[in-house]
Amino acid sequence: MREPSIVHVPFNPSLEGLAEMRPDIIFSEAAGQPLKLTLLVPWRDWRNEAAPPKRPLIVFVQGSGFTFPNVNYEIPQLAEYARNGYVVATVTHRSVLDGHPFPASLQDVKTAIRFLRKHAEEYGIDPDRIGIWGTSSGGNIALLVGLTQGDPAYGTEEHAGYSDAVKCVVDCFGPTDMVASYQYVKATQDPRFVDLFRGLLDGKEDLGLLRAMSPLHRVEKGRVCPPVLILHGDADDVVPYEQSLQMCEALLEAGCTAEMVRVENGPHEGAFWSRDVHRLIMDFFNRHL
């Protein structure tokens, strides 16, 4: 009788490199509609852990033109961060097209951070190691979260008493100068953005509000700002690459810690992404969380 060739591999008692998804976790109901997040969590051996480890948290905000985000879009990529030991929460926020102008989206993301800090023990999160990462409009929100930590203007009553602070920020091709973007749309009537700005501004022309939603205009010396990594493709036809470059320069001038990655020939989303881009983002979180 011919004996089989058997490959021997060790077992994995720590469950290293494995993760699970927990969808549809409600973090807010204050706006008359439930807002949910999806959590990606490293596997744990509940039977043998006397004191389970507390993991760093990445809060991810998917770009959506400030409409309702698709939390599933980056799940396959975000899972890699969970497999490497991070808890990852991809969050939603209200849509400008449903009558929720600025600062609704910013308030919702801050509410999600407070909720996750409140439930840190339940989800195995280290509340002192929370970072935020956003793409496109989510990148704008991520930068504003970093620049407005603890600002009562953007707080809500939900999960009061818990901080919305983050230790680091990753922004991928987010608009940083909404004044310049609005002036472009006003001059060109670009159909991709007309309804967006009408929703953001609630139908009014308010340059003060545009500056408030512009991370570039929120940077100033002495303002608390966590370390920031900005990544942008130089072939982006939605958000000009120059906006990210100006943002990085402004942060450095203000004495903040900021790094910039230029993705050569990178568009807005799509072929912008690569294993190299994710490697740089992972390295940034490893250094700061």
pLDDT at position 260, please? 98
CATH of the domain at 232: 3.40.50.1820
pLDDT at position 51, please? 67
Q: Is residue 6 part of a domain?
A: no
Q: Is residue 16 part of a domain?
A: no
Q: Is residue 103 part of a domain?
A: yes
Helices 137-147, 104-118: axis angle to 10 degrees equals 60
Please, how many CA atoms are within 13 Å of residue 92, restricted to the half-sphere of its CB? 22
Q: Is residue 222 part of a domain?
A: yes
Number of domains in the chain: 1
Report the candidate in 75, 56, 54, 148 with the shortest Cα–Cα distance to residue 109: 148
Contact yes or no for 198/153 (Cβ under 8 A):
no
Q: Which residues of the chain have pLDDT under 50?
A: none
Q: Is residue 92 part of a domain?
A: yes
Residue 42 belongs to domain spanning: 22-46+53-288
- DSSP letters along 109-167, please? HHHHHHHHHHTHHHHTEEEEEEEEEEETHHHHHHHHHHHSTT-GGG--STTTTS----S
What whole-number distance in Å separates Cα of residue 227 and Cα of residue 274?
23
Whole-structure pTM value:
0.95
Q: Which residues contact 277 (CB under 8 A, 6 or more apart)?
A: 231, 261, 263
Furthest-apart CA atoms within the chain: distance in Å: 84
The DSSP symbol for 75 reads H
Q: Is residue 105 part of a domain?
A: yes
Q: Is residue 42 part of a domain?
A: yes
Q: Is residue 59 part of a domain?
A: yes
